[in-house]
Structure 1
Amino acid sequence: MQNPVLVAGGVLSAAASLLHLAVIAGGPSWYRFFGAGEGMARMAERGAVTPTLITMGIAAVVAIWAAYAFSGAGLIPRLPLMRTALVLISAVYLLRGLLLIPAFLFNPGAVTPFVLWSSLIVLVYGVCYAAGTSIAWPALSAR
C-alpha cells in the first residue's frame, strides 16, 4: 500500500457515505440521533422526500471523495483533476472541523455534543486527506 494515510481517509469517507444511507433507512429517529435536526426528522416522519434527497446527496458527495482518496493512493485508476480535488476535499474537511474553534470562542452555548464530536471526527478526516495528499503529491502530477 503506497499511501495508508490517504487510504484511511477514503475508508472514513466511504464509512460516512454508508452511514448517511443507513440514516435514510433508519428513519426519523436516526435523523435525530445523528444530529440532522428536528426539522429533518419531522419531515421524514411526514414522509417528505426532502430529507432523503439531501441525505442521498451528501452520501454521494462523500462517496466521490472516498473515490478520490482511493485514486490518489493508487488503488483505483486516476480520476480527473486529482490534485485540485484532493486539496479542496482536504480544505472542506479541515475547515468544517476547525469551525469548532470560533464556535467555542463566540458562541460556546451552541457547541452541542453533536457539534463537538462531528467537528473532531471531520477534523481527523481532513488530517488524513491533507497528510495523504502531501505524501502522494509527487505521484499526483499530471501524467
Structure 2
Amino acid sequence: MVISGKNKFLILGAISSASAALAHLGCIIFGGDWYRFLGAGEQMASMADNGDWYPTIVTSVIVLVFTLWALYGLSGAKVIPQLPFLKLGLLVISFIYLIRGVAFVVIMPMFPENSSTFWIVSSSICLGIGTLYSVGTFQNWSTLRGKANV
C-alpha cells in the first residue's frame, strides 16, 4: 500500500520498532516491574531492582537497535532521507524479525524463565512486524538505493 509516495507497510513497521524501543526504554526507567511485565525473566528483573548495570546495558543496546530499525523503516518508506545500505538493511531487518517470529522454539531453552505466553505473544508480534517490513520492502524495492541488488 503506497499512498503519496509513502509506503504504509514500512511506516507501520517503523512505528512498531519505535514502540518496541520505547517499551524497552520503559524497563530502564521503571525497573524490575517492567522487566517482569515484558517477560524478561526474574533474573533480569531482580538485577534491575538491585541496581546492577547489566540489564541497563543490554536493554540500552536493544533500544538502539530498535531505534535504528525504525529509522530504516522510515527511510524505506520515504519519510526521511535514504540511509546507507538501505536495501540490505531492510532485508536484514525483515529477516531477523521473521526468523525470530518462527524460530522461537530453538531459542526458548536459552531463556527458561520466560513463559509460553511470552514466547507466543512476542513471536507473533515479531512475525507481524517482519511481514510489514518484508511487504513494504518488496513494494519499494525498485526505488530504493543501496547494496543488495539481488
Report the TM-score, using the length of structure 1 for normalisation. 0.90
CA distance in 1, matches of 2:89, 2:27: 27
Give 1:101 shift: 6.1
Correspondence list, 1:49-128, <5 A: 49-100=53-104, 112-128=116-132
Q: Distance in 2 between matches of 1:126 and 1:118?
A: 12
Counterpart of 2:9 in structure 1 is: 5
Identity %: 42
Letter in 1 for 2:100: R
Q: Give the AA of the match of 2:37.
A: F
Does the aligned pair in 1 maintain the 2:27–2:35 contact within 8 Å?
A: yes
The structure whose residues are more often helix, as a share, is 1
Counterpart CA distance in 1 for 2:71 and 2:59 is: 18
Q: Secondary structure at the match of 2:82?
A: coil
The residue matched to 1:36 in structure 2 has which SS? coil
- Distance of 1:100 and 1:79 partners within structure 2: 30
5+ unaligned residues in a row in structure 1: which ranges?
Answer: 105-109
Q: Give the root-mean-square deviation of aligned CA atoms.
A: 1.8
**C-alpha separation between the residues in 2 aligned to 1:40 and 1:71?**
33
SS, match of residue 61 in structure 2: helix
What CA distance in whole angstroms lies between the structure 1 residues aligned with 2:43 and 2:107? Answer: 22
Judge conservation of contact 1:103–1:111 (CA < 8 Å) in 2: no
SS in 2 for 1:74: coil
Spell out structure 1 runs of 4+ moving beyond 2 A.
100-104
Normalised TM-score (structure 2):
0.86
User: Deviation at 1:141?
Assistant: 3.4
How much does 1:111 deviate? 6.3
**Paired residues for 1:37-48 under 5 Å:** 37-48=41-52
* Separation (CA, whole Å) in 2 of partners of 1:18 and 1:59: 7
1-structure distance, mates of 2:46, 2:63: 20
Retained in 2: the 8 A contact 1:72–1:82? yes
What is the match of residue 14 of structure 1?
A: 18
SS class of match (1:141): coil
Q: Which runs of 5+ in 2 are unaligned?
A: 109-113
